[in-house]
Structure 1
Amino acid sequence: MAFDLYAAFVPTTRQLLGALPGVIAKAEEFVAENHCSDAELIEARLADDMWPLPWHVRSCWMHSAYALDQLAGTEFTPDFTSIPDSWDAMLAMIAEAEDRLADATPEAVNSIAERKIDFVLGGETRFTLPGERFLLGFNLPNFQFHATTFYDILRMKGVPLSKRDYMGNPAGPMFQS
């Protein structure tokens, strides 16, 4: 079987994105049952020098749907302009990413495999990679890091989550009934 960039990237990101609304629902339930505020969770971070909870949803969006849009060209420039500030805003950002990934075609994703992509930060090219390595060696690990950190922050704050909550449906959203 030939390597398929679409199959290596899209189903995994869709699976983990698909789990995030359930994690958020458990966080909202935890707030209601434990008489704490949404802000206690939304402003939480694992360490003082790390981003708070909503930044991790933004990063999941950025390293999935936004990445596909950016990699259609020849540059990837991070976008930190719209950080969600509520559970609803986080859910909307997740839904936007899910919709974009659902619209991605194997042909479009596979077409970026050989294209050279520049990582541009602050107007400066920091490195250049082939699209395949950019998607699998940069975006996918970043996506997984931020999805995991989102889960970890909530777990650290006491939200009763399991590995299954993080993983979602291993078959992926394309196979859900």
Structure 2
Amino acid sequence: MSFSLYQATVPTMIQMLQSAQGWIEKAKASDLSEEEIAGACLREDMAPFPKQINWMLAYAHRGIEAVRKGVMNPDLEEPPQELEQMRLNIGAAENQLRALSPAEVESFIGKEMRFVYEPHGVDLPFTAENFLLGFAQPNFYFHATTAYAILRHKGVELGKLDYLGPIPMKQG
């Protein structure tokens, strides 16, 4: 049985984006202020919650866009601090991933691309599949897990099923 690049990336990213929208809803319903959440991080040397969400999105739908263009640069813009805007951005990313066709994602295989971060002299060459599976996807999950952990650390009532979100089950 073969497994496609689309199947290995897009459905699980959509699943996690749906999960993240639920985390945001639970954070909004908590006793924490938006300012407290926006400034929260796991360690002083780690980025705060809004950046974790923004970087998660960067490696999801913007990662796909980078493959189309052939280059990805880190997103250094200041992300939204408001939970509702984060939730809306997550929803937009999910919709963009849903709009992808499996055929388009499969057409990326073998395409050359680069990750470039000029201020630090980084210029990493990839094929699209190496980038998506070995760089974008691990980064996506790292930032998703960190965002989830920040909310748990701050006391938002989240459990493992909140992290997993809508689990794909066998149909029929």
Fold conserved between structures, TM > 0.5: yes
Offset of residue 29 of structure 1: 1.2
Q: Which runs of 5 or more residues in structure 1 are unaligned?
A: none
Aligned residues: 169
Identity %: 36
Matched, 1:154 2:146: no
Matched, 1:98 2:91: no
- The one-letter amino acid paired with 1:19 is S
Partner of 1:30: 30
Offset of residue 116 of structure 1: 1.3
Matched, 1:65 2:67: no
Partner of 2:50: 54
Superposed CA RMSD: 1.6
Partner of 1:113: 109
Offset of residue 125 of structure 1: 5.0
- Rounded Cα–Cα distance in structure 1 between residues aligned with 2:3 and 2:27: 38
Q: CA offsets, 1:12-38, max 9 Å, x none? A: 10000011111111111112xxxx422
Offset of residue 73 of structure 1: 2.2
Partner of 1:128: 125
Q: CA offsets, 1:57-89, max 9 Å, x none? A: 111110010011110122111222250110011
Offset of residue 111 of structure 1: 1.2
Q: Which moved more, 1:115-124 or 1:62-71?
A: 115-124
- The one-letter amino acid paired with 1:23 is W
- The one-letter amino acid paired with 1:52 is P
Offset of residue 126 of structure 1: 1.9
- The one-letter amino acid paired with 2:2 is A
Q: Secondary structure at the match of 1:128?
A: strand
- Rounded Cα–Cα distance in structure 2 between residues aligned with 1:151 and 1:163: 10
